[in-house]
Amino acid sequence: MHEIEPSTISSFHVYSDMSNYTFVSPLNNSRVLQTCSAALGYGFAGGTTDGPGAFDFRQGTNDTDDDSPALKNPLWKIARGAIHPPSEEQKACQSPKPILLDVGAAKSPYAWTPNIVDIQMMRVGNLVIIVAPGEATTMSGRRWRQAIAAEAIQQLEIANPVVVLGGPANTYAHYIATEEEYGVQRYEGASTLYGPHTLEAYINLTSTYLPYLSDQQTKGQLLALERGPSPPINVNKSLSFINGVVVDNAGDVASATFVGANPRNNLRLEQTFAAVEVYDTTAGSWQQVRDDKDWHLVYHWVRKSTILGTSEVKIDWEIEDFMGAAPTELYRIRYYGDSKSLGGSITAFEGVSGTFYVGSGQHSDPSPELIKLG
């Protein structure tokens, strides 16, 4: 059993573009190697021994000649060309992987798979943790851990480093196979995205940044680490397959249920237990238009458990008929409550419903900004 020595606690997190990374092999300094833009091979579609793929795909397909028997089905060539036909340079870089899906160059509607990946490690004393963006095979994991252990002794002066490998984290960069495993192009090799030297690239990158786990880093004696190229962020352009609401007719009842508290904890004089808010597009903010003095806003409180002291509040808004002539607007319901602890202290809290439309007109889905506000 390994003994973890407490002392330095440190980490680093950078990004690296693996589509064209040139480096000296950390396993053989006489070799200058290069990675490729991400691609998946025919063996990837062949699946694994315990979960084979469909159609005529097979593991071990490592003949890159497009006229070879293994690649004779013209349907897959058409499909490959429709996604992105790989260049001759890409074919040569990925050899002996016959490219089925040139995913690194496929960008619509989003990048199909990452070319920019996370390079990150953590250290607690003599424990060094490699956080990989992909799934390393058993032999890849051994080589990677052994290489980092040797570098930790030399660069970090750790006498007895304990190196562990975990992943995938933050992104999914498929498999990380050894060069030998890549050569036979079974499922793991065909799923190794960045060519035959993917593993050595990861080892080189983590070794290069290893000094940022040193005592000097924790004491602020190293230069700031450049984060590298930023991966694409798709938060504000995510596709939604949820049908939008076409119309909410006036006269309906909008209801929202909240985890609540006994209203006697705070009678909220000159305040309100419930409110209806409308989104003001001009001001870019929510405005209160109804509170609990309004006859059309009904507040229900129900004790759910006397022993546990839990309760529930339901707020109903009986939408007035005259609003049927109003333009379509975005609304939400807000609940104001006050909880009471066993010691007697009272704490105010609020709850907000999802957003909904009221009005006579049709509308499109709300913008991402409105969804966030809801």
Minimum mean pLDDT range among 26-35, 62-71, 87-96, 256-265: 62-71
- pLDDT at position 118 is 95
Whole-number pLDDT of residue 374: 30
Q: Closest Cα to residue 193, out of 71, 106, 66, 70?
A: 106
More confident residue, 58 or 198: 198
CA 24/CA 150 separation, integer angstroms: 17
Nearest C-alpha neighbor of 254 from the set 274, 230, 226, 231: 274
User: Could you tell me which residue, 194 or 362, shows the higher pLDDT?
Assistant: 194
| Contacts with 13 (C-beta within 8 Å, 6 or more apart), sequence order | 118, 119, 120, 227
Q: Mean pLDDT lowest for which of 64-78, 200-214, 236-250? A: 64-78
Q: Binning pLDDT at 50, 70 and 90, where does residue 365 land?
A: very low
Residues 61-81, mean pLDDT to the nearest whole number? 67
d(CA 135, CA 177) in angstroms, rounded, equals 9
Selected residue with higher pLDDT from 273 and 56: 273
- Between 19 and 82, residue with greater pLDDT: 19
Place of tokens 């052994």: 146
Give the residue, 71 or 22, on which the prediction is more confident.
Answer: 22
Q: pLDDT digit string (tens) for 113-123?
A: 999 999 999 99
Q: What are phi and psi of 26, to 5 degrees?
A: -75, -15
Q: Residue 1's pLDDT is what? A: 53
- The answer to whether the peptide bond before residue 96 is cis (omega within 30 degrees of 0) is yes
Q: Which residues, including other chains, have CB under 8 Å from residue 120's CB and lie 6 or more apart?
A: 11, 12, 13, 14, 131, 169, 170
Q: Between residues 305 and 251, which one has the greater pLDDT?
A: 305
Mean model confidence pLDDT for the chain: 86
Q: Which of 141-145, 340-344, 345-349, 370-374 has the lowest mean pLDDT?
A: 370-374
How confident is the model over 129-137, as a mean pLDDT?
97
**What span, in angstroms and rounded, lies between the C-alpha atoms of 31 and 29?**
5
Least confident of 70-74, 132-136, 155-159, 346-350: 70-74
Contact between 271 and 336 under an 8 Å Cβ cutoff? The reply is: yes
- Residue 16: strand pairing partners: 117
**Cβ neighbours of residue 368 under 8 Å, at least 6 residues apart?**
235, 236, 238
pLDDT tens column, 290-335: 999 999 999 999 999 999 999 999 999 998 876 555 567 899 999 9
367 confidence band (pLDDT: 50, 70, 90): very low
> Going from the N-terminus, what domains does the chain have, and what CATH number goes with each?
9-230 (no CATH), 253-373 (2.60.40.2300)
Q: Which of 202, 227, 54, 49 is nearest to 134 (CA)?
A: 202
pLDDT score recorded for residue 37: 97
57-66, 110-119, 171-180, 248-257: least confident range: 57-66
**Mean pLDDT, range 258-276, rounded to an integer:** 95
What's the pLDDT band for 112 if we cut at 50, 70, 90? very high
pTM to 2 decimals? 0.64
Distance CA 238, CA 253 (A): 31
pLDDT at 233: 85
Amino acid 211: pLDDT: 93
pLDDT, mean of residues 38-46: 89
* pLDDT above 90 (res 219): no
Residue 155 has pLDDT above 70, yes or no: yes
Please name the residues in contact with 207: beta carbons below 8 A apart, sequence gap of 6 or more. 26, 147, 148, 151, 155
Amino acid 354: pLDDT = 92
**In this model, does residue 141 exceed pLDDT 80?**
yes
Residue 373 reports pLDDT greater than 50: no
Cβ 20 vs Cβ 121: under 8 Å: no
pLDDT band of 248, cuts 50, 70, 90: low
